[in-house]
Amino acid sequence: PNPSHGQFIMKNMEHLNLVKADVMDINGRLVKSIDLSNIQDSATIDISSVASGLYFMKVYSQKANTVIKLIKE
């Protein structure tokens, strides 16, 4: 769910060849980098150790990149 208390489920519904995800704070600072190269269908993204607020997760695949907004309560 989004917002969350720190754990987000990312589903790879299009079965893309994912590479990694970078979670950044509102100022663009890297908070966490996650290796996604081994996931097939879904992955749990855990940012429970960071402060509450708005974050952006840039997901890299072999074909394209996308940015997802995350809200941690």
pLDDT tens digits, 52-68:
999 999 999 999 999 99
Do 54 and 71 meet the contact criterion of CB atoms below 8 Å apart?
yes
Name the band, by pLDDT with cuts 50, 70 and 90, for residue 13: confident
State yes or no: pLDDT of 1 exceeds 70. Answer: no
pLDDT tens digits, 14-54:
888 999 999 999 999 999 999 999 988 999 999 999 999 99
Nearby residues of 42 by Cβ (< 8 Å), 6 or more positions away: 9, 10, 11, 12
Q: Half-sphere exposure of 23 toward its Cβ, with a 13 Å CA cutoff?
A: 23
Do 68 and 27 meet the contact criterion of CB atoms below 8 Å apart?
no
